[in-house]
């Protein structure tokens, strides 16, 4: 009997708001992932702003930084769901990227396959945030899924009042295709 290998996928949600569309989308996406994936949202709201003075030279790094880095390190891949704020990603998400990239020689993002999904109530689906985030990840040696690029516009129309994906939204085909591509991408690493 061939036993499937379980993949741990860390999910970062760029919006801290409890009822954010990014969080709703991250939760909804779990249903489309392969059954062998263990998908866990890694919280980023408790991370102090990155400041190099807070670690090194006999200074112990904040425990939340250490825990965050360990969670990312243990993951086989990372899925990032981001909102768009002023044509970029959120400060909280950028801070998480920075925390994981330091100390310089211990970048947890290096060679970690990733995928980016941007969501927005606007029509262009967070295009600016998506590409800004990709730019940062490339700098950190993080191989980001090249296609399909996932810009989900008009996200507010995709959920019912309970935060569940509407069955007639048409997004299910797109999410299924995305996860097939992401699974192949992860397999390359």
pLDDT digits (tens, 9 = 90+) for 78-87: 999 999 999 9
DSSP strand E in the chain: where?
A: 7-13, 37-41, 77-82, 114-119, 150-152
129-143 average pLDDT score: 96
Q: Are 110 and 156 in contact (CB under 8 A)?
A: no
* Domain contains 118: yes
pLDDT band at 90 (very low <50, low <70, confident <90, very high): very high
Q: Is the pLDDT of residue 46 over 80?
A: yes
Does residue 109 fall inside a structural domain? yes
> Please, are residues 142 and 108 in contact by the beta-carbon 8 Å criterion?
no
Cβ-based burial of 3 (10 A; exposed 0-12, middle 13-18, buried ≥19): exposed
Q: Collapse the DSSP code of 52 into the 3-class scheme (helix H, G, I; strand E, B; otherwise coil) and give the result.
A: helix
Three-state DSSP class for residue 103: coil
**Quick one: pLDDT band at residue 51, thresholds 50, 70, 90?**
very high
* Arithmetic mean of pLDDT, 6-19: 95
pLDDT given at position 2: 54
The number of folded domains in the chain is 1
In a domain, 2, yes or no: no
Averaged pLDDT for residues 116-124: 94
Output the domain CATH number for residue 135. 3.40.50.360
Residue 1 lies in a domain: no
Is pLDDT of 3 > 70?
no
pLDDT at 1 over 60: no
CB 119, CB 81: distance < 8 Å: yes
Cis link prior to 149 (omega < 30° from 0)? Answer: no
Query: Model pTM?
Result: 0.94
Give the Cα separation of 125 and 50 in Å (integer): 28
The answer to whether position 60 is within a domain reads no
Query: Domain for residue 40, yes or no?
Result: yes
Helices (H), 38-187: 63-74, 91-101, 127-139, 171-187
Beta bridge partner(s), residue 77: 9
Q: Give residue 145's domain range.
A: 7-22+29-54+69-187
Q: By the 8 A CB rule, do 19 and 163 touch?
A: yes
138 within some domain: yes
Q: Which two tokens stand for residue 157?
A: 């129309």
């Amino acid at each position: 009997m061939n036993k499937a290998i379980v993949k741990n996928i860390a999910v970062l949600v760029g919006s801290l708001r409890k009822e954010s569309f990014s969080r709703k989308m991250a939760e909804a996406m779990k249903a489309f992932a392969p059954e062998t994936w263990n998908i866990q949202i890694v919280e980023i709201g408790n991370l102090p702003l990155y400041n190099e003075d807070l670690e090194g030279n006999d200074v112990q790094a904040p425990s939340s930084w250490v825990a965050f880095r360990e969670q990312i390190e243990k993951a086989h891949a990372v899925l990032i769901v981001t909102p768009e704020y002023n044509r970029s990603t959120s400060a909280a998400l950028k801070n998480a990227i920075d925390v994981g990239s330091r100390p310089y020689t211990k970048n947890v993002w290096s060679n970690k396959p990733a995928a980016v999904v941007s969501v927005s109530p606007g029509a262009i689906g967070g295009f600016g945030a998506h590409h800004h985030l990709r730019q940062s990840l490339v700098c950190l040696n993080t191989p980001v899924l090249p296609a399909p690029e996932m810009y989900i516009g008009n996200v507010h129309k995709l959920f019912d009042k309970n935060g569940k994906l509407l069955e007639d939204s048409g997004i299910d085909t797109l999410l299924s295709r995305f996860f097939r591509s992401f699974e192949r991408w992860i397999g390359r690493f």
